[in-house]
């Protein structure tokens, strides 16, 4: 039986190993977007500037790489919240984050079939992603409530569900303008009135 990898045991990765892992994930997003999820893993390794052995040491299967790409995208989406709140008023941070959410869902749609296959085979690609996204929405909403910018009678779960429905129903590139208009309608309905 192979020894567990550092990222699987909870031990931190060495700095060079962490950089290689991040390069692989970044390259995988780009290559999968260009060539689809059946892109050769060797192409991803080359795009990341690492050897195939390094890729397989981090991600022993295509499914493991796809799942890691998905989880990384969720983490990046959620990690954007503090920066947005530091740079903008809360309501504007919420609005900007909803656009990032659209980008995230649009990218995820290309992975949907592969993620479903991973789930059907017993994997759990979605893991804590729903909770992470709802927590990000809750942080944004709490800041907005504290600023008096939004109503207090809407839960983060309600807003998360509305965002997901809008993003999925307006996902094709031609639907982006409609999705942004629908997001604005939801956010306008959420805003407090003088």
Per-residue pLDDT of 1-45, as tens digits, reads 333 344 444 556 678 888 999 999 999 888 887 877 788 999 999
136-188 pLDDT, tens per residue? 999 999 999 999 999 999 999 999 999 988 988 876 666 888 889 999 999 99
Question: Does residue 167 belong to any structural domain of this protein?
Answer: yes
Structure tokens given for 9 = 């045991």
44-66 pLDDT, tens per residue? 999 999 999 999 999 998 888 98
Q: To 10 degrees, the CA torsion angle through 30, 35, 38, 42? A: -60
Domain boundary among 15, 38, 60: 60
Question: Does residue 168 belong to any structural domain of this protein?
Answer: yes
Same domain membership, residue 82 and residue 48: no
Could you tell me which residues come within 8 angstroms of residue 104 by beta carbon, excluding any fewer than 6 positions away?
73, 74, 77
Structure tokens given for 94 = 């919420």
Same domain membership, residue 74 and residue 23: no
Same domain membership, residue 84 and residue 150: yes
Same domain membership, residue 113 and residue 174: yes
Same domain membership, residue 131 and residue 182: yes
What CATH number is attached to the domain comprising 50?
Answer: 1.10.10.60
| Interatomic CA distance for residues 150 and 9, integer angstroms | 42
Give the range of the structural domain holding residue 45, as residue numbers without chain letter.
1-60
| Interatomic CA distance for residues 192 and 194, integer angstroms | 7
Question: Does residue 65 belong to any structural domain of this protein?
Answer: no
pTM above 0.85, yes or no: no
Domain count, the chain: 2
pLDDT band at 114 (very low <50, low <70, confident <90, very high): confident
The closest of 100, 82, 1, 17 to 54, measured between CA atoms, is: 17
| Interatomic CA distance for residues 118 and 64, integer angstroms | 9
Structure tokens given for 23 = 């390069």
Question: Does residue 40 belong to any structural domain of this protein?
Answer: yes
């Amino acid at each position: 039986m192979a020894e567990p990898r550092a990222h699987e045991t909870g031990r931190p990765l060495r700095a060079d190993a962490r950089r290689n892992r991040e390069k692989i994930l970044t390259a995988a997003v780009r290559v999968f977007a260009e060539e689809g999820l059946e892109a050769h893993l060797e192409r991803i390794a080359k795009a990341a500037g690492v050897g195939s052995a390094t890729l397989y040491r981090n991600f022993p299967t295509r499914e493991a790489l796809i799942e890691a790409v998905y989880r990384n995208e969720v983490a990046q989406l959620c990690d954007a919240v503090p920066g947005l709140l530091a740079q903008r008023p809360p309501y504007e941070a919420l609005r900007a984050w909803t656009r990032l959410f659209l980008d995230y869902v649009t990218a995820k749609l290309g992975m949907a079939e592969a993620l479903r296959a991973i789930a059907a085979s017993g994997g759990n690609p979605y893991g804590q992603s729903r909770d992470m996204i709802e927590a990000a929405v809750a942080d944004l909403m709490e800041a907005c409530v504290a600023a008096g910018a939004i109503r207090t009678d809407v839960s983060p779960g309600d807003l998360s569900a509305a965002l997901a429905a809008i993003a999925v129903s307006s996902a094709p590139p031609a639907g982006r303008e409609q999705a942004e208009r629908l997001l604005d309608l939801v956010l306008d309905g959420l805003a407090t009135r003088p």
